Amino acid sequence: MKRHEIHVRLDDSIATTSPVSRSYKIHVGDEILQDIGALVQNDNVQRAVVVSDQSINESHGRTVTRSLEAVSITVDRLTIPPGETSKSLTEAERLWNEFARLEIDRKTAILAVGGGVVGDLTGFVAATFSRGLQVWQVPTTLVAQVDSAIGGKTGVNLPAGKNLVGAFWQPRGVVADINTLKSLPDREYVSGLAEVVKYGMILDADFFQWLENNAISIRGREKESLNHLVRRSAELKTFVVERDEREVTGLRACLNYGHTFAHAFETTAGYGTLLHGEAVSLGMMAAVRLAYSLDLLDQTVVERQQQLLETLGLPVGTPVLNDIATDDFLRIMARDKKTVGGNLRFVLPDKIGHVEIIDHIDHMLVTSAIKTICYAN
C-alpha cells in the first residue's frame, strides 16, 4: 500500500547553499523513498549506483532501486557489512575498485542509502573517486537524518582514531524518509534523539519547548512529530553549516555541545558500551551542570534539560563510568581535537537556545560536573 497524506512537495523542502560548493535540497517526508527516481532524474541522470549496508539492502535499498528503475535509470547495487568497522580504508578501497570495475564516471549518481556509516563512507568514496562524483544522501537512521547526512562531512576511521581521514563533500540532495525510522531498534532511535535535544539547547528555545510538549508522541515515533522533529533538526544543522561549513568562524563548534564530555565517556567506557547519543546525553548533563556551577544559568535550565532527556528515554546518569579515575577523563578531554594547547574549552549554555564557548575553566569544577552523572548501581 502506498499512502501520500503527508507527502512532501518538492517546494516544501529545505534549500541550502554551501559557500564552497553548490546549493542542494533536503527533502523530509513520509514514504518519499518511492519518489527518489523523479528527483534524481531531474538532474539528467541516466545511471546510478546504490550503496547500502547488508541489513537494509533488501528493504530500503530495494525501494530506492525500484524508484530509480521506474524512471529508466540503470542501477548497480553495492553493499557493505553493517557496523562502524566498515568505515575503513579497506572498505573504501573495495568500493573504489568496484566503481572502477563498473566504469563509473561523473555523470553517474551515487546514492548512499543507510545510516551514518554508509553515508560517511560512501560520501568519502564519492568525493575521491575520479576527483569527485555526485552523491545523494538517503539517511535511514535518526542519527543520519538529523545529523550525519547534513553538513558535508565524510570520512573513514583509522586505527589511531575516528574520522581521521575524510573530505568535505556536499551532496546533490538529501532524501530523509521518516517511514524508514519505523524499523530502527529502540535503543538506536532513542540515542538519535540526543542530538535533537542538543539543537534545541544550542539554537532554538521554541523547538526545545516543542520537544517538551511532544515528548510522549516523539517517544512513540508518531509520524507528525517525527516529521517536524527531523525537518527542524535538519534546518538547524543546515543553518549552522551554511554559516561555517569548514569550522572557520567558530559557529560550527556549537554543535559540539556535550561532545567533549561525551567523547571522554565513550573512550573510557570502551567503544560500544555507550551508544554515541547516550554519551551525548550524559555529556550534556555534565555540561549543563558545569554551566550552573559557573553561574552561567539558572537551576531551572538544568532541570528542564534533565526532564526532557529522561522523558525521551535517554540516560542522565550511569554506573558504567564509576570506576574510572577523574584524571583519566581530563587527560582524554585534553587530547580532544577541539582543545587548544591543553586548555579545556567547552560549549556551554547560558539559557535554553543559546550557547557560549568557555575556556580556562577550573579542572575541579569539570570533575565535579562529571561526578554528578556517575551513579552507583
Residues serving a catalytic function are 131, 153, 195, 237, 247, 252, 256, 259, 263, 276
Q: Does 151 bind ligand NAD (CB under 6 A)?
A: yes
The residue among 352, 343, 366, 360 whose CA lies nearest residue 293 is 366
Least Cβ distance, residue 178 to ligand NAD (angstroms): 10
Q: 311, exposed or middle or buried, with CB in 10 Å at 0-12, 13-18, 19+?
A: middle
Q: Does 144 bind ligand NAD (CB under 6 A)?
A: yes
Please give the DSSP secondary-structure letter assigned to residue 165.
E
Question: Can you tell me which of 82, 313, 317, 353 binds ligand NAD, judged by CB under 6 A?
Answer: 82
Residue 261 near residue 340 (C-beta atoms within 8 A): no
Cell 507528525 belongs to residue: 224
| 3-state SS class at 208 | helix
Q: Does 140 bind ligand NAD (CB under 6 A)?
A: yes
Least Cβ distance, residue 240 to ligand NAD (angstroms): 11
Q: Are strands 109-114 and 134-139 parallel, antiparallel or unpaired?
A: parallel
Question: Which range touches ligand NAD (CB under 6 A), out of 42-50, 81-89, 354-362, 366-374?
Answer: 81-89
Q: Does 141 bind ligand NAD (CB under 6 A)?
A: yes
Question: Can you tell me which of 27, 153, 198, 289 binds ligand NAD, judged by CB under 6 A?
Answer: 153
- Nearer to ligand NAD among residue 212 and residue 247 (C-beta): 247
Question: Can you tell me which of 76, 98, 188, 336 binds ligand NAD, judged by CB under 6 A?
Answer: 188
- Spatial neighbors of 8 by CB under 8 A, at least 6 apart, are 27, 28, 29, 30, 32
Residue 148 near residue 12 (C-beta atoms within 8 A): no
- Nearer to ligand NAD among residue 278 and residue 304 (C-beta): 278
Binding pattern to ligand NAD, positions 49-78, x when CB under 6 A? ----x-xx----------------------
Q: Does 147 bind ligand NAD (CB under 6 A)?
A: yes
Residue nearest to ligand NAD according to CB distances in the complex: 116
Q: Are strands 47-53 and 109-114 parallel, antiparallel or unpaired?
A: parallel
Question: From the CB of residue 299, how many other CB atoms can be counted at a distance below 10 Å?
Answer: 8
Least Cβ distance, residue 73 to ligand NAD (angstroms): 23
- Spatial neighbors of 305 by CB under 8 A, at least 6 apart, are 197, 201, 284, 285, 288, 352
Question: Can you tell me which of 16, 32, 41, 87 binds ligand NAD, judged by CB under 6 A?
Answer: 87
Q: What is the 3-state secondary structure (H, E, C) of 103-145?
A: CCCCCCEEEEEECHHHHHHHHHHHHHHHHCCEEEEEECCHHHH
Least Cβ distance, residue 54 to ligand NAD (angstroms): 8
- Nearer to ligand NAD among residue 143 and residue 236 (C-beta): 143
Question: From the CB of residue 22, how many other CB atoms can be counted at a distance below 10 Å?
Answer: 9
Residues 97-126 that bind ligand NAD (CB under 6 A): 114-118, 120
Q: Does 16 bind ligand NAD (CB under 6 A)?
A: no
Least Cβ distance, residue 353 to ligand NAD (angstroms): 22
Site residues, ligand NAD (CB under 6 A): 53, 55-56, 82-84, 87, 114-118, 120, 140-141, 143-144, 147-148, 151, 153, 162-163, 180, 183-184, 188
